[in-house]
Amino acid sequence: MAATISAQTSPTIMGIETEYGITADPSFFEKHGEFYGQRELCTLLLSAHPSAKAKWSYELERPLYDLRGFIAKPENPDCSRYDREERPPIYDKMLPNGARFYIDMDHPEYSTPECTNARDLVVRDKAGEMIVNTAAERVNQELGIGVRIYKHNSDFKGRSFGCHEGYLMRRNVPLEKIITAMIPFLVTRQIYCGAGKFGSELTGENDVYQLSQRADFISSEIGVQTTANRPIFNTRDEPHADEEKFRRIHVILGDANMSEWSSYLKVGTTNLVIKMIEAGFLDNAPQLESPVAAMRKIARDPGCKETVPANKGNLRAVDIQMMYLEAAMRFASQVPPSPEDQHVISTWQETLAALAEDPLQLCRKIDWVIKHRLLSTLQRRHKWKHDSWSIRGADMQYHRVDPDKGLYHYLCREGKIDRLVADDAITQAVTSPPEDTRAYFRGRMIERFGKDIVGINWESLRFSSQVGGGAILFNPMSLTKKDTERILSTANSVQEVIAALATAASS
């Protein structure tokens, strides 16, 4: 899959947006009704998190802009998602750790700050679990309504919650090349980053175990949609950076992971594939005959033995992933990788070898394998039938973020899960932003001068009329700790920060 390598690749910038499932005691919904109850729960959750009273600015958001060069119609014109300018700050918060915590539709959502490597992104994603769970604990202590939070993608009632990824990429790479190279990779990567699910809402099957929770909800190959007719490759054109130079690859088909290793492989391998596409190294990627059908077939194959038709013959998902891995290894031999990328490649290689031989070898690392083994054990022990709500309850309980109640956390305490990152690093990331992206400046400004910020988003800060002006953050690699620590530690006002930045820019 090699071609001439281009020297031009964008800096590594990536993030994860997780839509959490939320519920409470039945009495709460009896009082408020299901839909308004969900909205009320989300409002209570956001209210429980202290933060600066900066109002989120939507002026640079454009969820209907399509990379193919047009503006799409709203999926649901009546949905408040497209009329958010009047929403109060309580619905949308930027946090001192550089992340965003907000309400989208009828669920809470947490977006990590911008990160430069896969391991740091896993840490920031796990910090989001702690932040959301702490807010739920505060609500329960104050109101006693039994709020429960789940990091999953399916509620067994036909609704799916998304876990989206974003990756920075040069805008001058032809879109068709990106789509052609990425679709087979995205379809098959579920063999190591799927979260696992018992049953299927799409077909009504109760006795099937799926690798991915999102596979049932992906129904097209290409499109800008995220809540209906969801595509494998999403074409939303919302770069959150200098739009003349960059685009953001917005991946919506992935699962929300509890396993640190699944999450690490998910973002690490995807980032490598994007770098190879930028460098012109994947011009001959394998092509699937029917990507949507292939995604669903692969999801229903815990043995990882089934094949799907492609232009290079009938191939297993493992075979296709091996092709991308081999390309990454050749790429690394010509463009020396960072130590983190080299670790991603070696982990990818070990994981695919285990999947090809026996997926159960990964029962301590990969979400769908961990959960498959757990649910199978519980089913045999308790003699549960396939359509039992006990199985579905245990399935969901695996994803509960409360460390005292969630089954994933229970397995961690029992020493049955292999960890990748340290708890101390996660705890620190709850309050501290990454030091090597613009998230550092944004987070520290919120921490020190939050009262003076009246508008904020990923690319800009707008200050109150008393202060005046603002700051533009179009470059995700600028305003890092190295660039701004001295300024932020000595300035006593926003005006002093602005003046110091102007002086530094002109020197």
- Residues 46 and 146 reside in one and the same domain: yes
Q: What is the CATH number of the domain that holds 157?
A: 3.30.590
Q: Does residue 2 sit within a domain?
A: no
Q: Count how many residues are written for the chain.
A: 507
**Beta bridge partner(s), residue 92:** 102
pLDDT digits (tens), the chain, 507 positions: 544 455 467 889 999 999 999 999 999 999 888 877 888 999 999 999 887 556 788 877 888 888 998 888 876 543 444 344 445 556 789 999 999 999 988 899 999 999 999 999 999 999 999 999 999 999 999 999 999 999 999 988 888 989 999 999 999 999 999 999 999 999 999 999 999 999 998 888 888 999 999 999 999 999 999 888 899 999 999 999 999 999 999 999 999 999 999 999 999 999 999 999 999 999 889 999 999 999 999 999 999 999 999 999 999 999 999 999 999 999 999 999 999 999 999 999 999 999 999 999 999 999 999 999 999 999 999 999 877 889 999 999 999 999 999 999 999 999 999 999 999 999 999 999 999 999 999 999 999 999 899 889 999 999 998 887 888 999 999 999 999 999 999 999 999 999 999 998 887
List for the chain the helix, strand, coil content (%; round to 5). 45, 15, 40
- Residues 442 and 415 reside in one and the same domain: no
Handedness of CA 58, 59, 65, 67 (dihedral sign): negative
- Residues 156 and 32 reside in one and the same domain: yes
Q: Does residue 468 sit within a domain?
A: yes
Q: CA–CA distance from 180 to each of 218, 231, 294, 354 (Å)? A: 17, 14, 15, 27
- Distance separating alpha carbons of residues 314 and 319, to the nearest angstrom: 10
- Residues 350 and 461 reside in one and the same domain: no
**Residues annotated catalytic, as ranges:** 104
Which residues constitute the domain of residue 484? 438-506
Query: Residues of 307-336 as b/e, b for ≥16 C-beta within 10 angstroms?
Result: bbebeeeebbbbbbbbbbbebbeebbeebe
Mark out the alpha helices in 99-247 (DSSP H runs): 118-143, 175-188, 190-193
What pLDDT is attached to residue 296?
97
- Residues 404 and 478 reside in one and the same domain: no
- Residues 288 and 150 reside in one and the same domain: yes
Neighbours of 422 (CB within 10 A): 10
170 Cβ neighbours under 8 A, 6+ residues apart = 8, 9, 10, 245, 246, 247, 278
- Distance separating alpha carbons of residues 20 and 136, to the nearest angstrom: 12
The residue out of 424, 449, 464 marking a domain boundary is 424
- Residues 354 and 476 reside in one and the same domain: no
- Residues 264 and 403 reside in one and the same domain: yes
Q: Does residue 406 sit within a domain?
A: yes
The residue out of 424, 450, 469 marking a domain boundary is 424
Q: Does residue 3 sit within a domain?
A: no
Q: CA–CA distance from 258 to each of 127, 325, 410, 487 (Å)? A: 12, 24, 12, 38
- Residues 56 and 123 reside in one and the same domain: yes
* Helix, coil or strand: residue 101: strand
Q: Does residue 494 sit within a domain?
A: yes
Angle between helices 494-506 and 481-490 (to 10 degrees): 140
- Residues 146 and 92 reside in one and the same domain: yes
Q: Does residue 429 sit within a domain?
A: no
Q: Does residue 5 sit within a domain?
A: no
Domain total in the chain: 2
- Residues 207 and 271 reside in one and the same domain: yes
- Residues 57 and 196 reside in one and the same domain: yes
What pLDDT is attached to residue 85?
46
C-alpha closest to that of 456 among 475, 476, 468, 471: 471
The residue out of 424, 450, 474 marking a domain boundary is 424
The answer to whether 407 and 135 are in contact (CB under 8 A) is no
